[in-house]
Amino acid sequence: MSQIMNPPSSSRIKVRPATEREGRKDYISIRDYGFWYGQKKALEGISLDIPERQVVAFIGPSGCGKSTLLRNLNRMNDLVDGIRHEGDITINGRSIYDPGLEVISLRRRVGMVFQKSNPFPKSIFENVVYALRVVGVRDRAVLEEACETSLRKAALWDEVKDRLDDSALGLSGGQMQRLCIARAIANRPEILLMDEPCSALDPIATGKIEELIHELKEQFTIVIVTHSMQQAARVSDRTAFFYLGKQIEYDTTEKIFMNPSQAQTEAYISGRFG
């Protein structure tokens, strides 16, 4: 059966060699981290370090906890009732659960792009500068400059520069997702979280966003959750594989895809389960 399905084998996936850049090796550090939704344990014993200005991909079958972990990095799960955690997550040495650290200031440093593009029902311009507006930036020149910079970085500027005052809801799906990326980077966060950013997009739009990720990692530390093995291999420097709330393997992407040390990882990557 599996032969008929012709699963992607590890040998057919092109892997980009890990780039070594200057920066802290344990920029985001997760230590013995566990997480509960009410009585249900969603994460258990997670420990991994994410280096500065690299792309880390979280992969694994649905329900394995990769999105939960991602959403805990900027404490988006605080919106859910009855949550609990153990262990700690630090960003640049400081715990995100530090009582002296406001959730709002954490989220200003950790931008997020969601699975479904979710532009506000406002103009393209207002969407991009929203993060600046909430910190009280009024200066029109500053806003305009931030808007252009962000849209250029998100490779959307040329497509929308003549209609910045049009509603963002008139854009195509791929444009909307790039707009959401522009919005997430407008206030220059240090980290960018991406929760399956291409799952609702066609291959061309997906390609554009992957190109974007390559460019963005020059400035941002990027954590991306993806269901596409090829995408993980194409964009990430390091990959973590999760299964049933546990971290099975975390290593350079090259190692994970070429020579995984765990049998489960190999089975998943070669499409035998998950």
Partner 1 sequence: MANPSDSSTPRGEAFVWFTGLGLIVGLGMVIGLLSLVILNGVTVFWAPQVPVAQVDDGRTIIGQLAQRRIRAGSPADHPRYELQYQVGLRELNGNSYLWVDEAKIKGETFPADVLGLERVENGPAFVRPQSLRKSDGKVIAATDAGFETAFQAEVAAAAVVREKLVEITRHRIGDVNGEMDKARVALRRAEDLKLTEEIAALRKQIAGLEERFVALQAEAKKVVEGGAVASLVSKDAANREVVVPLTQVIRGWFPNRLDTWGRVKLFFSRLGEFVFDEPREANTEGGLMPAIFGTLVMTVFMSLMVTPFGVITAIYLREYAQQGPVLRIVRISVNNLAGVPSIVFGVFGLGFFVYVLGGSIDQLFFADQLKYNNNTPVFGTGGLLWCSLTLALMTLPVVIVATEEALAAVPRGMREASLATGASKWQTIRDILLPASAPGILTGVILAMARGAGEVAPLMLVGVVKLAPTLPFDGSAPFLHMDRKFMHLGFHVYDLGFQSPDSDAARPMVFATTLLLIILVVCLNLGAIWIRNRLRARFKGASF
Judge residue 153's burial from the number of C-beta atoms within 10 Å of its C-beta, 0-12 exposed, 13-18 middle, 19 or more buried: buried
Residues 21-50, one symbol each (x = binds partner 1 by CB under 8 A, - = not), give: ------------------------------
Whether 226 and 232 have beta carbons less than 8 Å apart is answered as yes
Min CB(120)–partner 1 separation in Å = 6
Residues 215-234, one symbol each (x = binds partner 1 by CB under 8 A, - = not), give: --------------------
> Is the C-alpha dihedral spanning 264, 267, 268, 269 positive or negative?
positive
Q: Which tokens go with 265?
A: 């990882």
The HSE-up count of residue 152 (CA atoms within 13 Å, CB side) is 6
Q: Is 142 in the site for partner 1 (CB under 8 A)?
A: no
Give me the residues paired with residue 55 across strands.
222
**According to CB under 8 A, which one of 92, 149, 167, 262 is a site residue for partner 1?**
167
For residue 39, the one-letter residue type is Q
* DSSP H or E stretch at residue 48: strand 40-50
**According to CB under 8 A, which one of 66, 153, 178, 183 is a site residue for partner 1?**
183
DSSP readout, 222-271?
Answer: EEEE-S-HHHHHHH-SEEEEEETTEEEEEEEHHHHHHS-SSHHHHHHHTT
Whole-number Å distance between alpha carbons of 147 and 151 = 6
Residue among 134 and 142 whose Cβ is closer to partner 1: 134
Closest CA to 212 of 197, 229, 227: 197
Q: Is 176 in the site for partner 1 (CB under 8 A)?
A: yes
Q: Which stretch binds partner 1 (CB under 8 A): 13-21, 110-118, 233-241, 264-272?
A: 110-118
Q: Is 53 in the site for partner 1 (CB under 8 A)?
A: no
Min CB(150)–partner 1 separation in Å = 12
Residue among 222 and 229 whose Cβ is closer to partner 1: 222
Q: Which stretch binds partner 1 (CB under 8 A): 137-145, 170-178, 213-221, 263-271?
A: 170-178
* Contacts to partner 1 by CB under 8 A: 74, 76, 79, 81, 104-105, 107-108, 111-112, 114, 116-121, 130-131, 133-135, 167, 169-170, 173, 176, 180, 183-184, 186-187
